[in-house]
């Protein structure tokens, strides 16, 4: 969605929420679109949620004054588990392409998380029943659809503790440590938009990372910065973090 059109839609949503005293929503946005709205409408009473805490694609909620920003139950999002035989390999493109072939708009489909024999898809509530009735195959493979999901979500798994030392908490230093790449490669990844902090992409290599930040490095994994308060004998920051494995 073009930036100006998106911002206009979001401003309209804020006005509607104020006028009706009820939340008003815009369907699943990309991380880049979310960043645009946070930059332009950050002072408004808006909130984002994608069905689970680490979601990249999120709904926008324009909220009336009475509504708490952290009330995720208001979001019209439904997860669906799609099970298939484990000997088949299905990818994100298979699931998204099948949903699009049913005439479903992209903004009605959120994150698609996949593992062997199972995928969890986050959907706009208004298409849930349609999908449950009509989605029987993906990529020619028979699937069984069930509302909801069993934790952990595919691709997230469990958190393990790690630690490393970094010269500073600049983003390029931290990404270098988390991804196990050189500083130069880390800078390229950041500038290419492959790094998200708290689900928002950033291309600023000098941004300072803080404790509790959630960092996604596309192709490398998802991380949580657990502690940055200790230093080594050589004065380097001891970076303690958790990684989904």
Q: What CATH number is associated with residue 17?
A: 3.30.1370
27 within domain boundaries = yes
Average pLDDT, the chain: 93
The total number of structural domains in the chain stands at 3
pLDDT of residue 53: 83
pLDDT the model gives residue 36: 87
For residue 94, is it within any domain? Answer: yes
Tens digits of per-residue pLDDT, 35-81? Answer: 889 889 887 899 999 999 888 899 999 999 999 888 999 999 999 99
pLDDT (tens digit per residue) in 221-241:
889 999 999 999 999 999 999
| Judgement on whether residues 125 and 70 belong to the same structural domain of the protein | no
- Mean pLDDT across 85-97: 94
Express each pLDDT in 8-26 by its tens digit. 999 999 999 999 999 999 9
Q: Is 153 among the domain residues?
A: no
Question: Among 99, 125, 147, where does a domain finish?
Answer: 147
User: Which domain, by its residues, includes 206?
Assistant: 159-244
Query: Which segments of the chain are extended strands (E)?
Result: 24-29, 46-49, 58-62, 77-83, 109-115, 118-124, 137-138, 141-142, 144-147, 159-166, 195-197, 200-201, 214-217, 221-231, 237-244
pTM, two decimal places: 0.76
Residue 152 lies in a domain: no
Give the pLDDT of residue 151.
85
Token pair of 214 as six digits? 């959630």
Q: Are 132 and 87 part of one and the same domain? A: yes
pLDDT at 2 over 80: no
103 and 53 within one domain:
no
Per-residue model confidence (pLDDT) at position 142: 97
Is the pLDDT at 199 greater than 80? The verdict is: no
pLDDT digits (tens, 9 = 90+) for 105-126: 999 999 999 999 999 999 999 9
Query: Does 154 map to a domain?
Result: no
Non-local CB neighbours of 178 within 8 Å, separated by 6+ positions: 164, 215, 217, 220, 221, 223, 241, 243
As a whole number of angstroms, the distance between CA 141 and CA 84 comes to 7
Helix (H, G, I), strand (E, B) or coil at 107: helix
Read off the CATH number of the domain in which 98 is found. Answer: 3.30.70.330
């Amino acid at each position: 969605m073009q930036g100006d059109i998106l911002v206009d839609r979001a401003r309209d949503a804020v006005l509607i929420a104020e006028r009706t005293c009820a939340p008003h929503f815009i369907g699943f946005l990309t991380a880049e679109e979310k960043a645009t709205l946070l930059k332009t409408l950050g002072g408004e009473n808006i909130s984002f949620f994608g069905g689970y805490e680490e979601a990249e694609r999120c709904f926008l909620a324009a909220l009336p004054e009475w509504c708490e920003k952290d009330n995720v139950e208001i979001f019209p999002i439904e997860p669906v588990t799609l099970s298939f035989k484990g000997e088949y390999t299905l990818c994100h493109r298979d699931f998204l392409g099948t949903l699009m072939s049913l005439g479903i708009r992209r903004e009605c489909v959120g994150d698609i998380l996949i593992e062997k024999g199972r995928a969890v898809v986050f959907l706009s509530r208004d298409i849930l029943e349609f999908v449950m009735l009509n989605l029987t195959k993906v990529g020619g493979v028979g699937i069984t659809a069930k509302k909801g999901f069993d934790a952990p979500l595919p691709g997230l798994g469990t958190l393990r503790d790690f630690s490393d030392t970094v010269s500073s908490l600049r983003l390029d230093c931290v990404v270098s440590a988390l991804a196990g790449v050189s500083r130069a490669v880390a800078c390229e990844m950041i500038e290419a938009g492959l790094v998200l902090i708290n689900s928002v992409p950033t291309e600023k290599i000098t941004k300072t990372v803080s404790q509790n930040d959630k960092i996604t490095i596309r192709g490398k994994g998802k991380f949580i910065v657990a502690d940055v308060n200790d230093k080594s004998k050589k004065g380097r920051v001891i970076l303690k973090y958790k990684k989904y494995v």
